[in-house]
Amino acid sequence: MPYTLNGIGTRYYGRRNVSQANGNCEHCRRWSSLSSYDTRECFCVMFIPVIPLRRFRIQNDCGICRKHYRMPLADFQERLQATVDPLRIAVRRTPRQPEAHLALVKALISFGVLVEAEQAAAEAL
């Protein structure tokens, strides 16, 4: 987790591939908007990002308590591709089979990539 003291420390900067859903936060147990997105951690001086450090995938960022899970973006993309690519190939081979589409949508939802899951579900119809 980023930490700043008197404006000096680390912070997240930027959001890409944002997915939002409402649900119960695992940390504060309250109903909230949970966001998942790609971001970059930066070293900051006076809250201004100066040096970019690493890229992360933030999972289930609670809108109330701001607690979340994070993993390096490269690891997330590796796991996502290893799981989803075979399912996408199966969908291309058998486009009329609903089980292949359902497996793809479930895998995308499990990774928190809701926008892509919605697109995959729309293509199945």
- Amino acid at the residue 84: V
DSSP state of 19: E
Q: What pLDDT, on the 0 to 100 scale, is given for residue 125?
A: 79
Contact, 12 vs 39, CB < 8 A? Answer: yes
* Sequential pLDDT tens for the chain (125 residues): 888 999 899 999 999 999 999 999 999 999 999 999 999 999 999 999 999 999 999 999 999 999 999 999 999 999 999 999 999 999 989 888 889 899 999 999 999 888 888 888 888 77
Q: Where are the alpha helices (DSSP H) in the chain?
A: 73-93, 98-110, 114-124
Q: How many C-alpha atoms does 122 have within 13 Å on its Cβ side?
A: 6
DSSP state of 9: E
Choose among 68, 26, 93: nearest CA to 103.
Answer: 93
- Amino acid at the residue 94: T
